[in-house]
Amino acid sequence: MATAQGILDGLRSQMDLSAFQKLNWECSFPEYLEIVMKQPTVTRTAYQRLFDMILSHGTEDIYENKDKLTRFKFFTEFATRHGDGIYGLDRPLMTLVNTFKSAALGYGTERRVILLHGPVGSAKSTIARLLKRGLEEYSRSDAGQLFSFSWKSPDGTYAKDPMHGEPLQLIPEEYRTELLGQLNAQATGPNPYGIKIKGDLCPASRYEFRERLTQYNGDWLEMLKHEVKIFRLTLSEKDRIGIGTFQPKDEKNQDSTELTGDMNYRKIAEYGSDSDPRAFNFDGELNIANRGIVEFIEVLKLDVAFLYDLLGASQEHKIKPKKFAQTDIDEVILAHTNEPEYKRLQNNEFMEALRDRTVKIDIPYVTRLRDEVRIYEKDFNDVKVKGKHIAPHTVEVAAMWAVLTRLNPPKNASLSLMQKLKLYNGKTMPGFTEDNVIELKRDAIHEGMTGISPRYIQDKISNALVAHPDEDNINPFMVIKQLEDGLRHHALIKDEDQHRHFKELLSIVREEYEDVVKNEVQRAIAADEEALTRLCGNYIDNVKAYTQREKVRNRYTGGYDDPDERLMRSVEEKIDIPEGRKEDFRREIMNYIGALAIDGKKFDYRTNERLQKALELKLFEDQKDTIKLTSLVSNVVDRATQEKIDVVKARLIRNYGYNESSATDVLNFVASIFARGQTKK
């Protein structure tokens, strides 16, 4: 048995002291200039560092309805590692990162408040949280390193600049142009943005600079050499270094000094004046977020006095601490708000200045089903939900309803809302092309800005998991019941019409689920590979003879017969091929087989989804009576039927992800449908 000391010794072997030393590295001011020439990126602005951090995780090109989009792996791979994966928002995120790029290049958006605007639960806070976490990790890497400085105290200790200022700000204004010219000319490392000095020292460091300059008779170079130490700066939200978060409170408890700092009344007695910078705490959120990012949660709920501070902070990159001159800051100001608060801002004529300094990025709900499913699969899967099996389509059904509540009704009367959902999800439908999908999205202004939040879905799936303690699985009907029961008490449903509409959408989802499981059971019954292959071979032989005006050899008599029109139509009707289109479909199949032959490939019915579906449905029609599935709803099942049902159940478990009890449930459900005669073509 290991001793406590043995456990500690094991942990010691895992310690990386070199990493600690690297993050706590210190140097003199001249040595820092050497670093600047070798790695000019240490002097980047906050926007430049944020943009480069996102790019450092890589990108990939994707296509969405013919549009080429850039997907940033920071929001997928990095986010997933931290349990915050974002799905289905590639376009809004590309807009956001392009805004950061514009700001990094100095095109103007660096003087704006970046406002994430969208409905509740649309991932606004998640995006802000990821950006802060990403900056923290990036500042610990070699590529993302940055530095600040500290002043030597009489007792030999060092006091850090309270606003984590850039060391180059220590260069007096009159010497900056010449120094920058030489630094940029002699820089050996990549220098995409150029070495620049933005802003001036904070009041506390200005005071320290002046006091020490007197001691060195104006020789600022000698003063910096002996009185200043440069150190590696690591951004941290917990330590309030370079990352700030501000959240609205009750109006009576709000104080604008939370943003720009406040007096240290204990030190006023020590230094004798409340305008002495040593008697001021530069620890407001805008102070401590210097060199990084500050997040304003529900920014438009703030008191007007707070919003005034944002005007100068965004446009001039300056803040006004009490009793001190305007102080320079360099930080990304990221805020988020929802629709009602933003409308209030638009209607407030006194806030015109803030509206003019805001770049609004819409963050809508997800409108693509597969992305919505991925949101819930993060929390509801067999790994996280121990002891409960989640039956197939359970999460998908909930996600389907959520997406339907967010879609605008299509203007095309022949298109249902469910069909629109399927088109958005990448399904092909007769009569609709990718151009039609583009047009649908163009017509649906503000689509995804209303509807049911993912949080509601997560809550109801959680309820379903605990509401049936005796069941070893949850199924779609359990979740649908929870969704419906909760509607009456949903705080965001405004009126009876909306409540009725959401219930109608649940009925549509229930019907869609019934069709899906009927199809799965049909495919499980018809999953005899040998029988499917024989049926396919027979169908293809007849189609080949039909298209080439030939006869078909009868394998029993050895003679030659006309193509079996009855067989061909019985297959084609299963996928709604009308009589007038049968020749086109048959030629299409033969052309497909011919194209494969040219490439040296062998035809397999499984490579053609429509043909596979038609064959499976045909085989199901031929076999369903021999299996007597409807006998499941009776109490007596003969042994031969039970053996066949067990085979079907095994296929459902193997091919579709059911467990024993959920497979039994779905077979009983589909059997009851067939007992009522509700078969589906």
Same-domain status, 409 and 357: no
pLDDT band at 624 (very low <50, low <70, confident <90, very high): low
Q: Is residue 448 over pLDDT 80? A: yes
Q: Is residue 242 part of a domain?
A: yes
Contacts 24+ apart (CB under 8 A), 617-621: 617/522, 617/526, 617/574, 617/575, 617/681, 618/526, 618/535, 618/570, 618/571, 618/574, 619/525, 619/526, 619/528, 619/531, 619/532, 619/535, 620/522, 620/523, 620/525, 620/526, 621/570, 621/574
Cβ 478 vs Cβ 468: under 8 Å: yes
Residue 322 has a pLDDT of: 86
Q: CB-based contacts of 562: which residues, under 8 Å, 6+ apart?
A: 551, 552
Q: CB-based contacts of 366: which residues, under 8 Å, 6+ apart?
A: 87, 88, 89, 372, 375, 403, 406, 448, 454
Domain boundary among 511, 536, 556: 511
Q: Is residue 221 part of a domain?
A: yes
Q: Is residue 57 part of a domain?
A: no
pTM of the predicted protein model:
0.84
> For residues 130 and 125, what is the distance between their CA atoms, to the nearest angstrom?
9
Evaluate the CA torsion angle 609, 615, 620, 621 in order and state its sign.
positive
Q: Is residue 137 over pLDDT 90? A: yes
pLDDT single digits (tens) 635-657: 556 677 777 778 888 888 988 88
Percent share of the chain, pLDDT over 70: 93
pLDDT band at 675 (very low <50, low <70, confident <90, very high): low
pLDDT band at 353 (very low <50, low <70, confident <90, very high): confident
Q: Is residue 542 over pLDDT 80? A: yes
Residue 601 has a pLDDT of: 80
> For residues 604 and 608, what is the distance between their CA atoms, to the nearest angstrom?
8
Q: What is the CATH number of the domain that holds 212?
A: 3.40.50
Residue 41 has a pLDDT of: 95
More confident residue, 316 or 428: 316
Same-domain status, 353 and 378: no
Cβ 85 vs Cβ 303: under 8 Å: no
Same-domain status, 325 and 309: yes
Residue 680 has a pLDDT of: 45
Same-domain status, 503 and 414: yes
- Closest residue by Cα to residue 98 from 70, 122, 66: 70
Same-domain status, 532 and 507: no
Same-domain status, 333 and 253: yes
Residue 633 has a pLDDT of: 46
Same-domain status, 308 and 405: no
Residues of the domain holding 377? 369-511
Count of structural domains within the chain: 3
Same-domain status, 537 and 497: no
Q: Is residue 253 part of a domain?
A: yes
Full 3-state SS string of 438-460: HHHHHHCCCCCCCCCCHHHHHHH
pLDDT single digits (tens) 465-479: 988 888 888 999 999
Same-domain status, 335 and 395: no
Question: What secondary structure does DSSP assign to 531-597, as a single string?
Answer: HHHHHHHHHHHHHHHHHTT--EE-TTT--EE---HHHHHHHHGGGT--GGGHHHHHHHHHHHHHHHH
Residue 623 has a pLDDT of: 66
Mean pLDDT of 240-254: 81
Q: Is residue 259 part of a domain?
A: yes
Highest-confidence segment of 76-85, 351-360, 543-552: 76-85
Q: Is residue 497 part of a domain?
A: yes
Same-domain status, 269 and 304: yes
Q: Is residue 257 over pLDDT 90? A: no
Average pLDDT, whole number, for the chain? 87
pLDDT single digits (tens) 266-287: 888 888 888 889 889 999 999 9
Q: Is residue 110 part of a domain?
A: no
- Closest residue by Cα to residue 296 from 323, 280, 314: 314
pLDDT band at 242 (very low <50, low <70, confident <90, very high): very high
Cβ 220 vs Cβ 213: under 8 Å: yes
Q: How far is CA 630 from each of CA 88, 372, 633, rounded to the nearest angstrom? A: 42, 36, 6
pLDDT band at 21 (very low <50, low <70, confident <90, very high): confident
Domain boundary among 619, 653, 669: 619
Same-domain status, 436 and 328: no
Percent share of the chain, pLDDT over 90: 48
pLDDT single digits (tens) 163-221: 999 999 999 999 999 999 999 999 998 889 999 999 999 999 999 999 999 999 999 99
- Closest residue by Cα to residue 302 from 369, 348, 237, 368: 348
Residue 676 has a pLDDT of: 65
The DSSP element (H or E) to which 619 belongs, if any, is: helix 609-627
Residue 96: Cβ within 10 Å count: 23
DSSP-derived secondary structure letter, 364? P
> For residues 85 and 80, what is the distance between their CA atoms, to the nearest angstrom?
4
Q: Is residue 681 over pLDDT 50? A: no
Q: Is residue 30 part of a domain?
A: no
Same-domain status, 549 and 498: no
Residue 590 has a pLDDT of: 87
- 29-38 helix and 220-227 helix, angle to the nearest 10 degrees: 90
Mean pLDDT of 132-146: 96
Residue 613 has a pLDDT of: 79
Phi and psi for 182 in degrees, rounded to 5? -75, -40
Residue with the two structure tokens 């009725």: 500
